[in-house]
Amino acid sequence: MWIWITVIGLILIIAIISSILNHPKVRGIIGEKRVRRQLDRLPKEHYSVLNDVMLKAKKGTSQIDHVVLSPHGIFVIETKNYKGWIYGDEDSEFWTQTIYRSKTKFRNPIKQNWGHIYALREVLSEYQHISYYPVIVFAGKARLMNVNAKTDVIYPHQIVDTITSHNGPRQLSSGDMEKIFNTLRESSIKDKELKNQHIKRIRWNVKIREMKEKVLICPKCGGRLIKRHGRYGEFYSCENFPKCRHKTESIKGRDDQGQQ
């Protein structure tokens, strides 16, 4: 009797632990820690690392996973802890995660990271000459299957080589790097409530964008989304192309009113 109670108890404990580890927030923390360990390998005499930086910009707050300062510019790192197969293009609004036959869309991390770079540029407006290097790191068990991007989209073990390979003209002195490091550290928001508000705002914006797309309204400029046929199948794009380059794949629930 006691053996069965013990077995059932162990099964429940394992199920609870598994549930906790699979929670998106916990997965995100685990992924960021993996990336931090890799960034700690960078030579400290040449690179300075800031983790979990939240900045207030004109368009709201921007939460940046990792910022690496180097003599050759600033690396802005967005960490994703996903599993499955990953597909995406540099200019697409959404990327796709495939696990067996299940497909899930998520916001293009390259575009998301450029929002972080704009926030950094606002805070560091006196350093107009700095080069910014966006880097996307998939820290989970994901496999990058068909990612067409000029931006570095890599795995954690590639971080050090990716960063140290950028060894062009020196843009920042050690004094500049120290000043920028202190500026970002002092500007970073520490308040937990503000961070929670930031997360809620991001989720709300995603919902608004999805609602607009379902009724064939471009979430970027307000134009009409038109169904088109491309090399890789059907997709929707804004009628104001090329001024507006918003595009997305077909979404369930759409009707044919936007077809041409």
| CATH numbers and ranges of domains, the chain | 2-190 (3.40.1350), 211-249 (no CATH)
Beta strands 132-138 and 152-154 are: parallel
What does the alpha-carbon distance between residue 15 and residue 31 come to, in Å, rounded to a whole number?
21
Can you spell out the DSSP letters for 31-87? HHHHHHHHHTTS-TTT-EEEEEEEEEETTEEEEEEEEEEETTEEEEEEEE---SEEE
Full-model pTM? 0.69
- Give the least confident one: 16-30, 78-92, 108-122: 16-30
The pLDDT value given to residue 65: 93
**Tens of pLDDT along 24-46?**
544 545 557 888 999 999 999 99
Least confident of 55-69, 104-118, 170-184: 55-69
